[in-house]
Chain A
C-alpha cells in the first residue's frame, strides 16, 4: 500500500464520522492544550523567579545565625548560641576571594519628614550594600564607609519613600526622623522593584549599628558576602565556615550560597513544572480513553469491512496497521489542535499578566505531541488487534 493511500484511507475513516471524530480529537486537544499551557506557565514562573533572585548577582553568600540541623531544630533557639556581630563582618572581609561584606539588620518603623509620615522597611547595612546588592544611586551617594561602630546618622531613601515623603521637593540634606532619632538624607536610590513581594523601594537604608540600636538588638540578622566571579561558591563558603567556626568555637550559623539556593530553587520549580504538566497529562489520559472507546466502536461497526478486506487478501498485520494508523492520526490531529490551544492560551495569559510571562518550552511541546501520538498508539492497540484477529467468515457475516 502506498503511503499516501494509507493516509487517505485512514483519514477517510475519520472523516466519515465527523462529529464523533471531532469530539474524540477534542479530548486529546484539551489534554495536550493543558500540558502545553501548564508547562508554559510553570516554565514562565521558573524564569521569573530565577530572574528575581539573580538580580542581586550570583556570587552571593548569606550567613544567618543558628544552625539548621537535619532534625530541623534551629540552634538559634538555644541560649548558648553566639550571635553574628559587626566584628564577624570585619573578620570575614579579610578573607581572600571576598570582595565585599555587608552586615544586615532589618525591621519596620515610622519615618517622618516635615509633616509627612510613612511606615517602611528599615535596613541597617554597610557602605558596601549598594555594591553587593547591585543597587544604583539616583541622587547624592550611598552610605559612607564610616567605622561600623561609630557610623554617622545618615540615611539613604528608597525611591518610593523619597517620592512619598518629599514628592518633587529636594530631599538631599534634609533631616528626617526614624524611630525618634534624627538622620540626614545623603542619597536616594533608583527603583529596584519588588523582589518576591518585598518592596525594596519602600525602604530606607541606615548604618547597621544605628539600626541595631533602633531595634534594640545586640546582633546582626544576616551577613552577606560577595565573592570574586572566578571562585567557586562552595570553596569560598568552606573558608568562611572555617573562619567563623574558629571565632565561635562551633558551627552555630548557617551558610547559604546563592548558587546552592538557585540550584534548590531551580529543582523545586522544575518539579513544579513537571507536576502541573502531569496534571495536564491526566486529561490527556482521559482523551486516550476516548480514542480507545471510539476505536472499539469503529472496529465493531466496520466488522463487515474488515471481513471484506481479509477476503480481498489483506494480511492481518496490514489490518492492524490500518486501525492503529487511524487511532494515531486521530490523536495526532488532536495533538496539533491542542498545541494551538496551548500556545494561544499562554499567549493570551502573557497579554493578561505581563509581569509573569508564560514561556513556551519547545521541548515540552515536542514531547506533548509525541505523547499524543503515543497515547493514540496505545489506545489503538487493543481495538486494532481485535480487528486483525477477527475470523474473516465471522466478520463477513456481521453485515
Chain B
C-alpha cells in the first residue's frame, strides 16, 4: 500500500526554482498496475525517485505499508529499498564486468546470502526469464532485450512488493519492448505492484490505471 500526500519537490537551479513536483497526491494498492505518462520534463522520473526512496520530497508525506517512510533515516530507507522495491531502468544499469548470473545475484550477495543458497535462486530466475543459456555471458554479449530481462530478474530476485520501472522499453525495439512489458505484466499478475513510466500511449493503455502528469502536477487519472 502506497500513499503520497501533497508532495512537493523543488530544485534550485542558480537563483531559479524548478518545481519538479507540485502538490502530488496518489495512492496505490497492492497489485496495482499503474502507468505514469506525460510530456518530457513533467516530473515523471522525479515522482518515481520519491516513490523509490532515492530522493526525498521537500514537503508532503509518503507512507509505505503503513510506515511513514519519508521520515526514516538513510539506513532504514536503504533497508526498505533492499527488501520492498525493485528498480528497472531505461539504460539497464547492469555491472559490465559481471556475468548475467552475477548481475542477478548481486542483491542477494550484497544482502549477505551465502553462495550456495544464491545458486538455486538465481538459476531458477535465469530459467524463468528465458536466460538459461546466457548465465555466463557478460552484458556486452547480450541483446538489449536480454539485458533488460537480466535487469528485471535482478529487480525481482529479492521478491519485492513494488517494481518501479522508468521507461523500461525506451531503449528497446518494438518487439523486445513488448516482450519486456509482458514479463512485467506477468509479475504484476503474480501480485507485485507495478508502477511504470512510459512515453508509449499503447503501452500505457495496457495498464489498469493511467496517471497523466503535466508540469509537475497530476493532470488526470484514467482507469482502463
Contact = CB atoms under 8 A, between A and B. Distances in A.
Interface string A298-338: 00000011011111111110100000000000000000000
B75 interface: yes
Interface in B70-114: 74-75, 78-83, 85, 87, 89, 91, 93, 95-98, 106-107, 109-114
Which one of B49, B93, B111, B113 has the highest number of Cβ atoms from chain A below 10 Å of its Cβ? B93
Interface stretch (A9-17, A155-163, A228-236, A267-275): A9-17
A318 B95 contact: no
A226 B115 CA distance: 73
A313 B95 contact: no
A305 B92 CA distance: 11
A115 B53 CA distance: 104
B63 to A, nearest CB: 19
Nearest to A305: B95
Contact of A396 (B82, B93, B97): B93
Contacts, number: 71
B55 to A, nearest CB: 5
Contacts of B75: 315
A311 B112 contact: no
A385 B159 CA distance: 31
B67 interface: no
A312 B157 CA distance: 11
B52 interface: yes
B127 interface: no
Nearest to B166: A396
A396 B89 contact: yes
A313 B97 contact: no
Contacts of A311: 52, 54, 81, 87, 93
Q: Chain A interface secondary structure, helix, strand, loop or mixed?
A: helix
Which of A313, A391, A399 neighbours the largest number of chain B CB atoms within 10 Å of its CB? A313
Interface magnitude class on chain A: 20 to 34
Interface string B25-67: 0000000000000000000000001001011000000000000
B54 A392 contact: yes
Interface in A1-59: 1-2, 4-5, 9, 12-13, 15-16
A393 interface: yes
A15 B96 CA distance: 13
- Residue among A1, A2, A15, A308 with most chain B CB within 10 A: A308
A313 B83 contact: yes
Interface string B142-161: 00000000000010000000
A78 B169 CA distance: 101
A308 B95 contact: yes
B112 A2 contact: yes
A315 B74 contact: yes
Most chain A CB atoms below 10 A, which of B54, B75, B83, B91: B54
A396 B93 CA distance: 8
Nearest to A392: B54
Interface in B111-127: 111-115
Interface string A144-166: 00000000000000000000000
**Which one of B52, B106, B114, B154 has the highest number of Cβ atoms from chain A below 10 Å of its Cβ?**
B106
A308 B95 CA distance: 9
Contacts of B93: 304-305, 307-308, 311, 396, 399
The 8 closest A-B pairs by CB, nearest first: A313-B82, A313-B81, A16-B97, A392-B54, A308-B93, A311-B87, A315-B78, A313-B78
Given A5-B115, A12-B97, A313-B78, 9 more contacts: A1-B111, A13-B97, A305-B95, A307-B93, A309-B110, A310-B78, A311-B54, A312-B82, A312-B87
15 contacts: A1-B109, A2-B109, A4-B115, A12-B97, A12-B98, A16-B96, A16-B97, A305-B95, A313-B79, A313-B81, A313-B85, A313-B110, A316-B74, A318-B110, A393-B49
